Structure 1
Amino acid sequence: MSSKNIYLFLIFLFVGCGQDGKSQNNSLFDKQWHLKNTGQKLFINEVGKAGVDINLTFPSKYTGKGVNVLVTDSGVDFFHPDLEKNMKPNSFIDFTNSSIPRVLDKYKLKFGEEHHGTNVAGIIGSSVNADNQFRGIAPNVKIASANYLSNYKVKAGSSVINEKFFIYNFAVMNGIQIINESYGSASFANDYFYLGEYSIIYDLIKSAIRNAGFGFIIVRSAGNETCSKNYAEKILKAKGSSYLQVMEILETLTPNSLSNLSTDLAEILKAIRPILSQMDDANRNPNRIVVAALSANGNIANYSSIGANIWVTGLAGSESSVRSNDGIFHSPNFKRDYPEILTTRIAGMPSKNDYSLFDIGFLAENKKLNYTATFNGTSAAAPTVSGVIALMLEANPNLSFRDVKHILVKTSNRDKLTPNPKPYCIKILEKIGNYNANFSQLWNVGWVQNQAGNIFHNFYGFGLIDADRAIEMARNFHLPLGTQIDVNGKKSENMNVGAGMSSTSNLNIANDLSIEAVQLTPFIEADWPDGLGIVLESPSGTKSTLLYPGNSFIALENERKIKNYSYPVKDYSKVDITTGGDYLSNAFYEERSVGEWKLTLINSSQHSAKLTGWKIKIIGH
Structure 2
Amino acid sequence: MHPSNRNRTILSLATLLALSAGAAQAQQGDPLYRYQWHLMSYGQSVLADTKPAFAVDLGIDDLHDYNVRGKGVVVGVLDSGVDIAHPDLAANMVPDGSWNFDTQTHDTSPTNASNAHGNAVAGIIAAVGWNGIGVRGVAPAAKLKSFNGFGDCFLFCGLSTGEIFYAWWDGAQAKRQDVSNNSWGYSGTTMQTFSENSVASYEGPMSQTREGRGISYVKSAGNDFISDCPKAIVDANVGCKQTGLDYRNNLFNVMTIAAVNANGKRSSYSSPGSGLWVSGLGGEYGRQVKHQPGLAANRYEPAIATTDLVGCDRGYNNFVIKSSFNLNQVNDLDSNASTIDNSCNYTGIMNGTSAAAPTVSGVVALVLQANPKLTYRDVKYILATTARKVDPNQPAAVHANGTVLVPGWTRNAAGHSFSNWFGYGLVDATLAVESAGKFKNLPALVDSGWQRVQPDAAVAIGNPAAPARLQIAIGNGIRKVESVQLGWSTDYRNDAATPFPVQVTLISPSGTRSTVFPAMTRLSTSAFRADFFASNAFLDETGQGTWTLELADVPLAAGAASKGKLASFKIRVLGH
TM bucket (normalised to shorter chain) is: 0.7 to 0.9
* Aligned counterpart in structure 2 of residue 359 of structure 1, from 334, 341, 357: 334
The answer to which of 306-315 and 608-617 deviates more is: 608-617
SS where residue 470 of structure 1 aligns?
A: helix
The answer to which of 597-606 and 76-85 deviates more is: 597-606
* Aligned counterpart in structure 1 of residue 94 of structure 2, from 63, 66, 88: 88
Matches within 5 A, 1:507-526: 507-513=472-478, 514-526=480-492
* Aligned counterpart in structure 2 of residue 502 of structure 1, from 433, 444, 466: 466
* Aligned counterpart in structure 1 of residue 424 of structure 2, from 459, 462, 467: 462
Structure 2 Cα separation of the partners of residues 92 and 143 of structure 1? 8
Structure 2 Cα separation of the partners of residues 544 and 172 of structure 1? 39
Structure 2 Cα separation of the partners of residues 613 and 268 of structure 1? 30
Partner residue of 1:551?
A: 521
The Cα shift of 1:517 comes to 0.9
Aligned CA distance change for structure 1 residues 126 and 307 (closer, same or farther; 3 Å): same
Structure 1 Cα separation of the partners of residues 173 and 374 of structure 2? 16
SS where residue 482 of structure 1 aligns?
A: coil
Partner residue of 1:419?
A: 393
The Cα shift of 1:301 comes to 0.8
Structure 1 Cα separation of the partners of residues 266 and 151 of structure 2? 29
Matched residue type, 1:495: V
Aligned CA distance change for structure 1 residues 108 and 340 (closer, same or farther; 3 Å): closer
Partner residue of 1:17?
A: none
Partner residue of 1:600?
A: 550
Task: Tell me if the contact between 2:206 and 2:215 (Cα under 8 Å) persists in the aligned partners.
Answer: no
* Aligned counterpart in structure 1 of residue 245 of structure 2, from 275, 279, 284: 279
Task: Tell me if the contact between 2:277 and 2:536 (Cα under 8 Å) persists in the aligned partners.
Answer: yes
Matched residue type, 2:100: D
Aligned CA distance change for structure 1 residues 608 and 515 (closer, same or farther; 3 Å): same
Structure 2 Cα separation of the partners of residues 370 and 545 of structure 1? 43
Q: Deviations over 1:422-445 (max 9, x none)?
A: 6xxx78xx5xxxxx614x4123x1
The Cα shift of 1:86 comes to 0.5
Matched residue type, 1:71: V
Matched residue type, 2:280: G
Matched residue type, 1:603: D
Matches within 5 A, 1:95-106: 95-97=101-103, 102-104=104-106, 106=107
Matched residue type, 2:452: K
The Cα shift of 1:144 comes to 0.5
The Cα shift of 1:217 comes to 1.4
The Cα shift of 1:588 comes to 1.0
Aligned CA distance change for structure 1 residues 121 and 201 (closer, same or farther; 3 Å): farther
Partner residue of 2:24?
A: none
TM normalised by structure 1 equals: 0.76
Partner residue of 1:27?
A: 31
Matches within 5 A, 1:227-238: 227-229=226-228
The Cα shift of 1:93 comes to 0.6
The Cα shift of 1:40 comes to 1.3
Matches within 5 A, 1:107-146: 107-132=108-133, 134-146=135-147
Structure 1 Cα separation of the partners of residues 448 and 181 of structure 2? 26
* Aligned counterpart in structure 1 of residue 254 of structure 2, from 281, 288, 297: 288
* Aligned counterpart in structure 1 of residue 415 of structure 2, from 453, 456, 459: 453
Task: Tell me if the contact between 2:448 and 2:474 (Cα under 8 Å) persists in the aligned partners.
Answer: no
Aligned CA distance change for structure 1 residues 198 and 107 (closer, same or farther; 3 Å): same
Q: Quick check: 1:184 aligned with 2:185?
A: yes
TM normalised by structure 2 equals: 0.82
Task: Tell me if the contact between 1:532 and 1:601 (Cα under 8 Å) persists in the aligned partners.
Answer: yes
Aligned CA distance change for structure 1 residues 269 and 352 (closer, same or farther; 3 Å): farther
Structure 1 Cα separation of the partners of residues 149 and 348 of structure 2? 24
Task: Tell me if the contact between 2:332 and 2:339 (Cα under 8 Å) persists in the aligned partners.
Answer: no
Task: Tell me if the contact between 1:520 and 1:617 (Cα under 8 Å) persists in the aligned partners.
Answer: yes
SS where residue 507 of structure 1 aligns?
A: strand
Q: Deviations over 1:357-379 (max 9, x none)?
A: 42123223321101100100000
* Aligned counterpart in structure 2 of residue 385 of structure 1, from 348, 360, 363: 360
Matches within 5 A, 1:193-592: 193-195=193-195, 199=199, 201-210=201-210, 214-229=213-228, 274-318=240-284, 333=296, 335-348=298-311, 349=314, 350-354=317-321, 355-414=330-389, 416-421=390-395, 437-438=401-402, 440-443=403-406, 445-493=407-455, 494-499=458-463, 501-503=465-467, 504-513=469-478, 514-528=480-494, 530-554=500-524, 565-569=525-529, 581-592=531-542
Q: Quick check: 1:614 aligned with 2:569?
A: yes
The runs of 5 or more residues in structure 2 that have no matched partner are 1-26, 287-294, 322-329, 557-561
SS where residue 145 of structure 2 aligns?
A: strand
Matched residue type, 1:417: D
Structure 2 Cα separation of the partners of residues 543 and 215 of structure 1? 30
The Cα shift of 1:78 comes to 1.3
Matches within 5 A, 1:10-21: none
The Cα shift of 1:89 comes to 1.0
SS where residue 340 of structure 2 aligns?
A: helix
Matched residue type, 2:222: G
SS where residue 602 of structure 1 aligns?
A: strand
Structure 2 Cα separation of the partners of residues 173 and 71 of structure 1? 10
SS where residue 463 of structure 1 aligns?
A: coil
Task: Tell me if the contact between 2:242 and 2:271 (Cα under 8 Å) persists in the aligned partners.
Answer: yes
Q: Deviations over 1:167-224 (max 9, x none)?
A: 221278631111100000132234x243599547524544435565x54111000111
Aligned CA distance change for structure 1 residues 277 and 174 (closer, same or farther; 3 Å): same
SS where residue 380 of structure 2 aligns?
A: helix
Matched residue type, 2:253: N
Aligned CA distance change for structure 1 residues 158 and 362 (closer, same or farther; 3 Å): closer
Aligned CA distance change for structure 1 residues 283 and 107 (closer, same or farther; 3 Å): closer
RMSD: 3.0
The answer to which of 196-205 and 340-349 deviates more is: 196-205
Aligned CA distance change for structure 1 residues 92 and 319 (closer, same or farther; 3 Å): closer
Q: Deviations over 1:349-402 (max 9, x none)?
A: 242212334212322332110110010000000000000000111111111001
Structure 1 Cα separation of the partners of residues 177 and 301 of structure 2? 35
**Percent of pairs with identical residues:** 32
SS where residue 283 of structure 1 aligns?
A: helix
Q: Deviations over 1:88-114 (max 9, x none)?
A: 0111211123xxxx242x454314241
Structure 2 Cα separation of the partners of residues 460 and 319 of structure 1? 19
Partner residue of 1:175?
A: 176
Structure 2 Cα separation of the partners of residues 72 and 523 of structure 1? 33
Task: Tell me if the contact between 1:277 and 1:305 (Cα under 8 Å) persists in the aligned partners.
Answer: yes
SS where residue 458 of structure 1 aligns?
A: coil
